[in-house]
Structure 1
Amino acid sequence: MLAALGATTLHPVIARATDGGPPTAANRRGDIAILRQALALHPGLYRYNSPRQIADRLDRLEIDFVAAQSLEAQYLLLAHFLATIRCGHSYANFFNQKEAVASALFDRPTRLPFQFRWIGTDMIVLREPTGVLPPGTTIRRINGVPAQAILRQLMPYVRADGHNDAKRISLLEVRGDERLETFDVFHGLLFGEPTGGLHQVDVRTPDGGEKTVALPATGIAARRAMMALRATDKTAALWNWQMRPDSVAVLTMPSWGVYDSKWDWRGWLDARLASLGGAKGLVIDLRDNEGGEDCGDSILARLATSDLQRIDYAQKLRFRRTPPEIDRYLDTWDSSFRTLGVGGADLPGGFIARPGESASSRIAAVAPRLTLPVAALIGPVNSSATFQFAATAKASGLVRLFGSTTGGNQRGINGGCFFFVRLPACGLEFDLPLVGTFPRTPQPDAGLAPHVAVAASAADIAAGRDPVLATAIDWAVRA
């Protein structure tokens, strides 16, 4: 594997890459040398690619990266290469770039001044603050380029697991829930600022009318002003609970990213689950939730009659200790990751079993048990902890899933522990997952389908309807 990545020539190139002075071709070649050696730690590098394919792409990347004269070109080359790994956690993370790099790449007056989603390949307006474009409006062309063509050009730069393109499309929506939107980043870098600072947008309104409107291209501050407000108080609740008049409780969980929260989410959730006596059902809305901690385990534990076995995936690594010569380029929050594979058994294919992987394979049942109907709303955003929750929930038969196919992949994902790899010459960072999960029996290259497929239409958006939620509530009342 190391030979396929070209690791035999790393050490002298890395030394040149750390020399002082402005970046040179040799410095940029050194960045790719670091990339090659760091990728040898990636457990899913060959999940969807052969060693030969990766080696050929790295050789092509090195030629193009060394020739690239701008940070923008280097970032696009790196993002495009990483997307070919087909790993939803391997990308040049917008939020982990240094401040100067992020400002140069992402703070551009190129953004479309509205929020939207994709229905098929149609770009549908969710919100436009001035009212010029009502919800449900279809964007046909932007500056003369069909919306479908824009989608096709952006897709090769977007992260997702395997060939689950629904996840890529969901990342290319602008829903107002991210401080940096994937669409904004790549559309801005690839298409640039519009002439005169105005986007010429051809649209079809919900009443069937067609027109062209000139909309100002905006910057990052204006985009963030349109975001859904999030609590800045670390002790504030991140989720919403509503008990409806029909006695169905709706729990909306837009994120399980509670790592740095001081909110007692377990106590909050336990109190609400304990209040469900007499309720007709519980609907859990996870559609905007990519993942985080395994918060859903607390719900499954209250539904189970006995301990639940998580979906049986093996956890595999590619290294025991990190190579000392690249340690200084590997940032992380836990230094134990550098010896993650120590004590792990050798596995076929050059893998190492993750030590202690079976310790968290079960979810312990908790009394008193909830016996009411429970539904979960899922979709392509779910690709990490929420994908795993959906898989366990579906296999257990305890939760009925509504919506559309998840992100993630049934062939397994990579994550758990990470390095943030810093390339010294260009200053770019990319996320490197260290733990690969692999099914013990063959699985399809796809996300997880719901029990009941339901999707909103442009007409639903125009009318403010949520057919996914409505269908799940109707089931809960009748079950």
Structure 2
Amino acid sequence: MNRRIFLGATGALTACAALPVRAGTGSGLAMDMEVIRAAISIHPGALRYLSEAQLADALDEVARAYLRAGSLPARFLALSTFLAKLKCGHTHCNFYNQRDAIADDLSDRRTRLPFLFRWIDGQMVVTRDLSGSGRLPPGTIVTAIDGRAPAAILGALLPLARADGGNDAKRVAQMEVTGGERFPAFDIFQGLLFPPQDGVFSLAFEPPGGAPTTARLPALSPAQRLAAAPPLPDDGTPLWSLAQREDGIAVLTMPSWVVYRSGWDWQGWLAERAPALYAARGLVIDIRGNEGGLSCGDPILARLAGEDILLDDYRQQVRFRSFPAALDPFAVTPVPSFRTLGVDAVPLGDGFFGQDPATTPVPRIAAASPRLTTPTAILVDASNSSATFLFALRAKEHGLATLVGSQTGGNRKGINAGAVAFVTLPGSGIEFDLPLVGYYPASPQPDRGVLPDVAVQTTAADIAAGRDAQLEAAIARLR
């Protein structure tokens, strides 16, 4: 399951608590639209996939839907639909950054499905039964939920999914529920659009090797789901593991790079285990399900590279000198200087500002010595869309590792990230994340993620058998 990135959520919520909020009045909601328009005017990727006319139409459309919405959930859905049209994986109504009262209104409902699942070839495949009935073993294919085909539910939710460009594999991955998250996107949107009747789901399904059957199973509350599938710890406990196989291959598992919310010394953890990486016959780095966070892969790239890695493939650009007056009172930034990123920048054309390429040194990842020559494979999937996308891209572009799995998230045409503002609307109180820096390729790139060197798709039969086909393929490649 894709990991959500907490872009400084705790600090943002604390600072936003002092912002004025009206109780959804007409004048307050109209002010919301002024703030939204001001925010989009400086969004670095607003015109990456939309023309000016298309963006103007989308803003007019969300204004109509938002202003006529009769409830907070309806406004939340209207705004989420608009933000998804920007095709930016970092622009969304961040569930984790909402005030408690708003988060409760949106998600504190007994509407969770009683199982975890993945989407495989358009089918909803159970990965874990949480119902207590024992009727949904791993590999079960769910064919109907309250009379609706799961594919139809997915189709209704995809326009709400955040992803970069035309990378629909990321949108589908956003709508999986594999555990370890407090607010899975599927749970929030399904709970608002397709809640169960009287707290019970009517399911049709096909168990592995069994005949089609049906069952009525109780929906889970958020607390029940979290108890059954808790998130990763944030108390300083290491988030990663390093396993040494009998064949001499080491497996480094990194389910998240969101390491800034705890006191864990991840750099020290990696350094302590470096000797084992050098001694291994082969190395598998598993970043599946990892959206990103900090650039935790850079120390690994530094060891794998024989020379410095120049980071000149993407240019960083902003669309503002300083925050517009209509936005400034309602935006919080982790670093005050984010509000004036373009003040000392030079015009780059098309409304962008950035560093002067003629006088600015090219950033780089300095090579570490001694070089790590252990043959390396990286397990990737559609969740890899921020720091993990860049890690996979650089590893492939520089020939440092073999990528195994499926297309990553993110987009080779560039992403918007690096600095963020947390915008809280004064009328509704809804928060959305606004990235401030756009990464634009130095040369034309395809509208997709990074393709693996060895493509291996998981099947329902793999899940039923408890088989990790991608790990097996990586190990076979390294032997």
Alpha-carbon distance change, 452 to 32 in structure 1, aligned in 2, over 3 angstroms: same
Alpha-carbon distance change, 367 to 19 in structure 1, aligned in 2, over 3 angstroms: closer
Query: C-alpha displacement at 1:403, in angstroms?
Result: 0.2
Residues 1:281 and 2:277 aligned together: no
Moved more, 361-370 or 75-84: 361-370
Residues 1:340 and 2:341 aligned together: yes
Tell me which residue corresponds to 2:164: 161
Letter in 2 for 1:455: Q
CA distance in 1, matches of 2:20, 2:257: 42
Are the aligned partners of 2:22 and 2:429 in contact in 1 as well (CA < 8 Å)?
no
Tell me which residue corresponds to 1:239: 240
Tell me which residue corresponds to 1:11: none
Aligned length in residues: 458
CA distance in 1, matches of 2:461, 2:42: 47
CA distance in 2, matches of 1:21, 1:447: 41
Query: Alignment partner for residue 133 of structure 1, among 131, 136, 152?
Result: 136
Moved more, 76-85 or 341-350: 341-350
Letter in 2 for 1:170: A
Moved more, 52-61 or 40-49: 52-61
Q: Secondary structure at the match of 1:145?
A: coil
Alpha-carbon distance change, 313 to 197 in structure 1, aligned in 2, over 3 angstroms: same
Letter in 1 for 2:138: P
Tell me which residue corresponds to 2:430: 428
Alpha-carbon distance change, 205 to 165 in structure 1, aligned in 2, over 3 angstroms: same
Query: C-alpha displacement at 1:233, in angstroms?
Result: 2.1
Letter in 1 for 2:448: A
Q: Secondary structure at the match of 2:198?
A: helix
Alpha-carbon distance change, 81 to 364 in structure 1, aligned in 2, over 3 angstroms: same
CA distance in 2, matches of 1:42, 1:354: 18
Query: C-alpha displacement at 1:26, in angstroms?
Result: 2.6
Unaligned runs of 5+ in 2: 1-18
Moved more, 208-217 or 222-231: 222-231
Q: What's the TM-score once normalised by structure 2's chain length?
A: 0.93
* Paired-residue identity, %: 49
CA shift digits 1:440-463 (9 cap, x unpaired): 111111111000000111000000
CA distance in 2, matches of 1:127, 1:32: 42
Alpha-carbon distance change, 19 to 404 in structure 1, aligned in 2, over 3 angstroms: closer
CA shift digits 1:280-323 (9 cap, x unpaired): 10000001110011111111111111111236101000011112
Are the aligned partners of 2:21 and 2:428 in contact in 1 as well (CA < 8 Å)?
no
Tell me which residue corresponds to 1:7: none
* Pairs within 5 Å for 1:43-62: 43-62=44-63
* Pairs within 5 Å for 1:387-406: 387-406=389-408
Query: C-alpha displacement at 1:277, in angstroms?
Result: 4.2
Query: C-alpha displacement at 1:231, in angstroms?
Result: 2.7
CA distance in 2, matches of 1:407, 1:291: 11
Tell me which residue corresponds to 1:309: 310
RMSD value, Cα: 1.7
Query: Alignment partner for residue 448 of structure 2, among 438, 441, 446?
Result: 446
Extract structure 1 runs of 4+ deviating beyond 6 A: 18-21
Alpha-carbon distance change, 393 to 22 in structure 1, aligned in 2, over 3 angstroms: closer
Q: Secondary structure at the match of 1:468?
A: helix
Letter in 2 for 1:159: R
Tell me which residue corresponds to 1:91: 92
Are the aligned partners of 2:21 and 2:426 in contact in 1 as well (CA < 8 Å)?
no
Query: Alignment partner for residue 439 of structure 2, among 423, 427, 437?
Result: 437
Query: Alignment partner for residue 372 of structure 2, among 370, 374, 392?
Result: 370
Query: Alignment partner for residue 205 of structure 1, among 166, 183, 207?
Result: 207
Tell me which residue corresponds to 1:299: 300
Tell me which residue corresponds to 1:474: 476
CA distance in 2, matches of 1:187, 1:21: 27
Query: C-alpha displacement at 1:230, in angstroms?
Result: 2.7
Are the aligned partners of 1:311 and 1:391 in contact in 2 as well (CA < 8 Å)?
no
- Tell me: higher relative CO, structure 1 or 2? Use CA pairs within 8 A at least 6 residues apart: 2
CA distance in 2, matches of 1:227, 1:324: 43
Tell me which residue corresponds to 1:8: none
CA distance in 2, matches of 1:360, 1:210: 59
Are the aligned partners of 1:341 and 1:354 in contact in 2 as well (CA < 8 Å)?
no
Tell me which residue corresponds to 1:150: 153
Query: C-alpha displacement at 1:228, in angstroms?
Result: 4.5
Letter in 2 for 1:417: A
CA shift digits 1:357-385 (9 cap, x unpaired): 96672111111111110000001000000
Tell me which residue corresponds to 2:258: 257
CA distance in 2, matches of 1:154, 1:89: 18
Unaligned runs of 5+ in 1: 1-17
Tell me which residue corresponds to 1:414: 416
Query: C-alpha displacement at 1:148, in angstroms?
Result: 0.6
Q: Secondary structure at the match of 2:178?
A: coil
CA distance in 2, matches of 1:55, 1:229: 39
CA shift digits 1:201-236 (9 cap, x unpaired): 0001101311001110111101111215633422x2
Are the aligned partners of 1:25 and 1:67 in contact in 2 as well (CA < 8 Å)?
no
CA distance in 2, matches of 1:355, 1:185: 43
Moved more, 254-263 or 40-49: 254-263
Are the aligned partners of 2:164 and 2:415 in contact in 1 as well (CA < 8 Å)?
yes
Letter in 1 for 2:79: L
CA distance in 2, matches of 1:59, 1:123: 35
Letter in 1 for 2:372: L
CA distance in 1, matches of 2:290, 2:343: 33
